[in-house]
A and B are shown apart, each in its own frame.
Chain A
Amino acid sequence: MKKYNYIKFLLLCLSFVFTNCTNDFLEVEPKGAPTAETFWKTEVDINRATNALYLMNDAPAIYGRGMFLYSLIPSDDFVVGKSKSEIEEIKNFVTSGSGSYTRDIWSIHFQVIKRANDIINNVPGIEGVSNEVKNFSLGNAYFMRGLAYFQLSLLYGDNRAGIPIVDENTTDFYMERSPSVTDSYEYAAENFSKAAELLPLFSELSSSDYGKAHKNAAYAYLAKTHLHNAEFDHNSWQKVIDACNKVTSTQNELESNFEDVFKIANNWGKEYIWSVPSNVIGGSIFPGVSLENKGWGLYNGWGYFAPTLDLYESYVAGDKRRDATLLAFGDEFEYFGQNRRYWSTMNLTGIQLKKYMEPYSYPNGVHLNGNGDQPSTDLNPPLLRLATVYLMRAEAKIALGQDGDADLNKVRVRAGLAPISGATLDDVKYERRAEFAGELFGRFEDLCRWGDIADIKKALSGRRHDNKADPDSGFSIYEVWKPRNNFDLVKNRVWPIPPNVIDDSRGFIKQNER
């Protein structure tokens, strides 16, 4: 018995030593990266968390090509520039949403929403940092959460179902879609309103904050959100006007020359409200994606977007915007420091989108990403600019039976056209098509909004040149895309939610029925 006690005592001692040693040995703190406990302390932390909201800028699925494919390709302005079944399925409204170009759109937006919620939850409680800094960060968070909901609503929501609403208090992420897209538009609008209150004007930003949200961006997107919601809720028209008024109260001068809007020098020019910050390292690759396939041997253009002859011919005589937006055979342009006349052996329509080609005009490609597999440029492709605000307000006023002439004419006159009076919705339609061709969220969404189904369904044409390598070659007009009679406004104006989202939602998220 004594012996037993002795052993027991020894074991106890041993286990005591071991327990203490091993417990220390097993406590390992992460090194080399902040953790939830060590982060959210300083102004630098806040700034970096705010930066992280902008992951969409560099995402090919968002402003590179994914959302451009969903917005430009289904319209009557563009056809698929080279054979590519995934894009053809979008054009023909038979896509399943699983294609690699678009399957990440949903998840990236919800990443933005999560990051915004993290800021909204953590920033207010940080001590020792000025309210100015906190408000700027919070304003960015609300703005980007609003932008995420606006874009998702436009792509995936309609009056059958909207986007599930996640906010900073959400803990159970298994939820159903909101009953209608109006709910998610309203949620986006709420966020933009909060952001507008918190954010400074662009003119008050230091240049190191360029690219981040500012007051007018919030108001302008508030207007845009209401514009799209107006189809479902007539009360929204007045809200469009109110928000636009806020913008123009501090920013009311367009670039004098339409073409200058799409120049690197005017990335932050007077017409800037919101764009995709880009440079030769990253940002939007859309300028390269829409460039001539292989860029005449000098640059790896991708040639996915071929403007239709329908778009080319929609411009009235004297509209300067046609030649600033499009290149047809024989048109002169600067390319890698050389004057060149347009021809293309590959383009299906004989027309090239010129709007974003200014970065390609410089010698040695100094404003281009040297890696043609990620063809970003120093140009920030605009997403929402002052002209958008004027045309939104014009449309809203006309919808409410008011006079939209002044706003409409601002845009018209710059394009070299005579001012009109008694402008109607049809005039707005012309201006919007001519002004925003090749820009994100324009023609297709507008046609759906307006119910102009015939324009979507009709056959599209292009020019077939006799000698495709000769800028002076003659051409015949041919049907480049068959009529798309299968288009159903109810089912096809929105896109299928990526199937992996449906798969992972445990049955909560229902697919858009097609």
Chain B
Amino acid sequence: MKLTALLLIVSVLSIHAGTYSQNTKITLNLESVNVMTVLEKIESLTEFKFLGNDNVIDKDRIVSINVKQKRVDKILFDLFLNTDITFKVIGAQIILVKKKDIDETQINSERGVEKYKQQKEISGKVTDNNGMPLPGASIIIKGTNTGTTTDFDGNFTLMINEDSVILIVSYIGFGTQEIPINNQTVFKIKLESEASSLDEVVIIGYGSVSKKELTGAVATAENIENRAVTKVEEALQGSVSGVTVLANGGDPTSTPSIKIRGLGTTSAEKPLWIVDGAPYYGGPINPFDIESLTVLKDAASASIYGVRAAAGVILVTTKKGKKGDIKVDFAAYTGVQSVYNKPVALNAQQYTDMYNIAYDNSGIPRLDYFDGVKNPDRLVQRTNWVDEIFRNAIIQNYDVGLRGGSEKYSFSSSLGYNKKEGILINTYADRISFRYNSTVNLSDKIKVGENLSYTVTNGQSAFTGTQAADGGTNYNGVIAAAIKAPPFVSMYNPDGTYSDVADGQNGDVLHPVATLNRIDIDNPIKNTFGNIFLEYKPADKLNLRSSYAINHSDEFYKEFDPRVPEASKVQKTTNTLTQIQANEINWSWENTLNYNTIFNDKHSFQLLGGYSLQHQEREVEGIIAQGFENEDSNLLVLPLADEILDVNYSFFENNLVSFFSRVLYDYNKKYFFSASIRRDGSSKLAKDKRWENFPSVALGWSLSEEEFFKSDFVSSLKLRASWGRVGNIESLSSYPTNLPLSDENIILGGSGYQTGIVLDGRSNPNITWEISETTNFGLDFASQDNRWTLTADYFIKDTDRWLNRTPVSPLEGIGESPFQNSGKIRNKGLELELGYNKDKGDFTYNISGNVSFIKNEILEIAEGFDIIYDNTTQVATHYPLANAVGEPLFSFYLIETDGLLRTDTEVTDARANGQPDAQLGDIRFVDKNGDKKINDDDRVFKGSAFPTISYGLNLTMNYKRFDLSLFLQGTQGGVAYNGFKLTTTYPAHTSVAGANLLNEALDTWYPGNPNASNPRLSINDPNANLRKSDFWLEDTDYLRIKNISIGYTFPDIPYLEKLRVYATAQNLLTWTSYSGLDPEVANYGVDGGQYPVSRAFTLGFNLTLK
């Protein structure tokens, strides 16, 4: 979409000034300025516009001019005297051409005066390379001063002499073309854009501006299709500064989470997605459909979206049909994924040895169970459970797109299928996506259009961590289970059934393979998103737009839990079926009015006003049934159940009303000002708290446009400053002021449940908007020819009236604390994006890097509290997180440790300082408060999981027909609590007595291994080595080769416009010191062993038919 929108407006205006008098006289007094300045001065004083190829004139020639009330054509005559330039005035346009062209014409016309009289009419249309019409383009017959300009739709007609040979077509910002006439009468002329990146149009809320005119902090990502990503979020990772994308592990069904400019609050902070101008609540967007992604980072840019914009806004522009030929695109890739960092369990011999060491360390007689002599079978290595649960997983993706259009109508459609197997057996995710966009120009003034998309996703995953979905403790994560399962047990019994993994001491293990293979989930989620809009242009400067968007999400979930005959923790003699149906409808109706105008050629205004209505409702019905005689999948229907265990239902709805307006102003492309205000009212809040105003202002100053700013190196330099505020109430339920009662299943006399109804919370009529306020200072720089580009932003983002579940008194008896507005959070940061590109010659390349520094700090918390503990995020019932003033959100609050006790003196010392049961090989804890006791009073803050530095480096190279891209991404400054190690290395904390251990157990202290890095194994842990402490805290700094691709584009293949084949490797290499499965730990850095990120190799092609 390289379209010089601004120039378009200027040109349109110039055409309508066609009757402008050529006799205008002006006064000029300019000393030692370049020619360009003179022309600009004339433009600014008159309605004349200069057209023509920029290359024609020697812009930098220094001249002095001093005239009084002189006609413009006379001034120009003087200006270009003794140069090779001459000019032609057509209406208010002045076309500059080289003299030699005119000379040729003169020669030509002298040769054939007869022919000169035989004229004919030609016509045509000038468009950009995307087929968009170019109004105001100049067409000159080569060698003459005859010519014309195109009208609003890019059309022109021109009388030519029969002997005219060549048309010169030019337009500012586009390469000039010479078109041979060759007896043609109708021309279709496409000009190639020469526009620099600064002329690119950037989509902003409810509109667009050229990048030059931006005053807020806005970033764009493009060329998504070249990265073979399956999810849009993956495309954003590392490619945009200030945007932190956390992969959340390799679970094929999970979606990476996006945080724009740090954690602003404690819950429900998701960016707002706007697709083609409408708030989007639909299914996952197929990356194939995306033209560009724009991220509005600062409040000034986002505040036009008011509510829901606190976490930033992501604007998605989908591919559109272009006037002209119909295009058919195909894209396909397939690949294989594998685990790149597999945990290793002890083998049968080590398992036995380490337990005997643990018993010895504890001074407890060894158990017969762990006696390899009495029980030689246990020394036989039969199964490597970790190997058995992972696999090489296939990923495949197919897309087909059909785009095209005519004068009146354009459309774009696509169909895609993506299937991604998970690297854990029996897990997968798939997606079918369909999209149809079209626009119809009903007349010059009325345009209607629609976007329609339909997606169906399905998939199933496995539980891998230690925290159940409802926040409860669960140590049955399947990766940990594969560590814990005994290696001397075979996978199957001789009769083919799953073996009893739970024998004797290791009672609570699961059969890891059976657990995975038994997952039986059908979870089709169908999203139908439709958006229809009408645009009406009653006058050139005025645009009315009304758009209605609706999404219907139809979610079905059916999970069957079969009987488990083998002895294990989840042995079951019954089976259950859970069936849930959910329907969600979101609609929005938005009406906007745009007015664009320019006064005196210098004062440019874009005015916007509008209002919108939004509605959300969701209904969920669920049934749990038990006791299916026959487990055949065809017979798993509710009527065949023995018993309905539970039926539940929930419904909520909420509405939002918004009014908004904005003014964008610039003076001569030099000084920019914008201001907006939005007023939002939400049904979630009480009448008197419902409405809130969200204002913003922004300023820009294009230094490089100033007279005094002269540099050969700088082509553009702009300073920006903005301030704005946005709101957030996403975390609130629909009825926080009038909490519905909840029903509970109560066991009383008799069978089954009885219904209990209770108000398990507290309504809060005072609840109101959380406010996020951002002040932003930015700088944009581009060197001559845009070789170097730099964007820098510094911001302070304050969250006020922080919506948090402030703990209520433990005497109030409320199940879940209500949300309250309490506290303040500050994110401060610096974002830099630096690029260099070489775009000429056979070998071109582009290097861009971005880095963000973010400091997150709590400024205030709820009154009455010094520290608010996070009582939900846990691993192995360690709740290591807390919030306190002066610390980042979700900081680790732990007892500090100081290595292991390796000498008797150290042991004696520790025993005297609060560790009475300390022995050699135990952890030394730091008695912070010096009370000779080690307990929770000794906790200190130890940082948070959120990285303070995130960076990405992108290198793309093209050599002739080869292209190569390399993408590196990394973070620094985050820490994670390695609960996976804690819960799989130590017998006393595996939650499964006698379970097998992680190979970290080999690196534990025992008399024969005094230099080990981990504390001693023990059965009863008298020194409480396994208590919540910073021993388990590790840096998660990493640098990852996220993506490396090499492609080749074939030359001239019949019927094909383009064919590119490529190979991609994702997550090829990772450098990190983190010892867990993956340094990108979700769950605020509390790592219970999440689904690991995979390494993938894919092959694919993109193909366009002619």
Chain A interface (Cβ < 8 Å from any Cβ of B): 18, 22, 25-28, 30-37, 39, 45, 48-49, 51-55, 57-58, 82-86, 88, 96, 98-100, 103, 106-107, 110-115, 117-118, 164, 166, 170, 173-175, 207-212, 267-268, 277-283, 293-294, 297, 299-300, 302-303, 345-346, 364-365, 368-373, 468, 499-501, 503-506, 508-509
Contact = CB atoms under 8 A, between A and B. Distances in A.
Interchain residue pairs A-B with the least CB separation, the first 10: A370-B574, A114-B813, A210-B749, A52-B756, A211-B749, A173-B809, A32-B651, A33-B740, A211-B748, A504-B807
B877 A100 contact: yes
Contact of B567 (A52, A84, A297, A368): A297
B864 interface: yes
A508 to B, nearest CB: 8
A83 B994 contact: yes
B570 A372 contact: yes
Contact of B573 (A99, A113, A368): A368
Residue of B505, B682, B758, B760 with most chain A CB atoms under a 10 A cut-off: B758
Given A18-B659, A371-B576, A505-B810, 11 more contacts: A39-B759, A48-B755, A57-B747, A83-B505, A99-B877, A173-B812, A212-B749, A364-B573, A504-B808, A504-B810, A506-B809
Contacts of A27: 683
A300 B571 contact: yes
A232 to B, nearest CB: 23
Residue of A32, A36, A504, A508 with most chain B CB atoms under a 10 A cut-off: A504
A58 B756 CA distance: 13
Interface of B: 368-369, 473, 500, 502-505, 507, 563-564, 567-576, 611, 613, 619, 626-627, 645, 649-655, 657, 659, 681-683, 690, 734-735, 738-760, 763, 807-815, 864-865, 867, 869, 871, 877, 879, 935-936, 987-989, 993-994, 1019-1021, 1026
Contacts of B563: 370
A129 B751 CA distance: 27
B611 A18 contact: yes
B747 A279 contact: yes
A170 B811 CA distance: 10
Contact of B936 (A96, A282, A299): A96
Contact of A300 (B570, B743, B879, B935): B570
Contacts of A300: 567-572
22 contacts: A18-B659, A28-B683, A30-B652, A32-B651, A33-B650, A33-B743, A35-B735, A36-B741, A48-B757, A49-B758, A57-B747, A83-B987, A85-B988, A111-B760, A112-B813, A115-B758, A211-B747, A279-B747, A297-B500, A345-B369, A368-B573, A370-B563
Contacts of B654: 28
B865 A506 contact: yes
A364 B812 CA distance: 45
Contacts of B758: 49, 52, 115, 118
A106 B871 CA distance: 14
Contacts of B877: 86, 98-100, 103
A51 B500 CA distance: 41
A370 B752 contact: no
Contact of A370 (B500, B626, B653): B626
Given A58-B747, A504-B808, A303 B755 contact: no
A31 B755 CA distance: 18
B748 A28 contact: no
Given A26-B655, A26-B683, A207-B749, A36 B739 contact: yes
Nearest to B810: A501
Contacts of A33: 650-651, 740-743
Given A28-B683, A118-B758, A111 B813 contact: yes
A101 B40 CA distance: 80
Q: What is the predominant secondary structure among interface residues of chain A facing chain B? A: loop
A468 B564 CA distance: 27
B811 A372 contact: no
Contacts of A22: 657, 681
Given A34-B740, A100-B473, A173-B809, A373 B746 contact: no
Nearest to A212: B748
A112 B760 CA distance: 11
A28 B747 contact: no
A355 B564 CA distance: 27
B579 to A, nearest CB: 18
Nearest to B476: A373
Given A26-B655, A211-B750, A54 B871 contact: no
A115 B867 contact: no
A506 B863 CA distance: 10
A225 B734 CA distance: 44
Given A33-B742, A500-B869, A505-B810, A294 B502 contact: yes
A368 B1019 CA distance: 33
A45 B654 CA distance: 27
A114 B814 contact: yes
Contacts of A368: 573
A25 B657 contact: yes
B655 A28 contact: yes
Given A51-B748, A277-B748, A96 B935 contact: yes
A28 B653 contact: yes
Nearest to A110: B813
Contact of B750 (A117, A207, A303, A509): A207
Contacts of B627: 370
Residue of B473, B645, B865, B871 with most chain A CB atoms under a 10 A cut-off: B871
Contacts of B738: 30, 35-37
Given A52-B744, A83-B993, A98-B877, A30 B735 contact: yes
A115 B569 contact: no
A35 B734 CA distance: 13
A508 B504 CA distance: 47
Contacts of B572: 300, 370-373
Given A85-B1020, A115-B813, A281 B742 contact: no
A1 B670 CA distance: 35
B753 A281 contact: yes
Given A30-B735, A54-B746, A282-B747, A83 B988 contact: yes
B752 A281 contact: yes
A208 B613 CA distance: 50
B756 A54 contact: yes
A505 B809 CA distance: 5
Contacts of B1020: 83, 85, 88
Nearest to B655: A25
Contacts of A113: 813
Contacts of A96: 935-936
Contacts of A18: 611, 659
Given A28-B655, A281-B752, A85 B989 contact: yes
A28 B811 contact: no
Nearest to A267: B749
Contact of A51 (B735, B754, B807, B814): B754
Contacts of A118: 758-759
A303 to B, nearest CB: 7
Nearest to B358: A83
A299 B571 contact: yes
B651 A500 contact: no
B756 A48 contact: yes
A372 B748 contact: no
Nearest to A376: B747
Contacts of B735: 28, 30, 35
Contacts of A207: 749-750
A31 B653 contact: yes
A83 B989 CA distance: 10
A142 to B, nearest CB: 16
Contacts of A28: 653-655, 683, 734-735
Residue of A25, A27, A468, A503 with most chain B CB atoms under a 10 A cut-off: A503
A175 B811 contact: yes
Contacts of B869: 500, 503-504
Contacts of A82: 505, 507, 993
Contacts of B747: 54, 57-58, 211, 277-279, 281-283
